[in-house]
Amino acid sequence: MAKKNVYKVGPLTEGKKNIIASLIEEYDIETAEDIQDALKDLLGGTIKSMMESEMDDHLGYSKSERSSNPNYRNGSKSKHVRSSYGEFN
């Protein structure tokens, strides 16, 4: 049986404390479930942003930019991404 890798937590710096305080305030975190919901929201937004940037790079122009390229963007569809944090739309 393979051993599971254990993530080692680094020191709690002032910057990390500020981020945590902001997250607690933004998401009104009171429980472990609230933390999971906040992480899902953050991860989902990050994945969406990364996918949009990848498409911008692939097509050579941004989402709202006009192009004479026949391979233009004409909308979007919802995507489902599954991870250990849950399913994201």
Give the start-to-end residue ranges of the domains of the chain.
22-64+78-88
Task: Give pLDDT tens digits for 45-87.
Answer: 899 899 889 988 887 877 777 667 666 665 666 777 777 777 7
d(CA 55, CA 49): 10
Each residue of 31-59: b (16+ CB within 10 Å) or e?
Answer: eeeeeeebeeeebbeeeeeeeeeeeeeee
> Is the pTM here over 0.85, yes or no?
no
Cα 24 to Cα 34: distance, rounded to the nearest angstrom: 9
pLDDT, tens digit, 9 for 90 and up, residues 65-76: 766 766 666 566
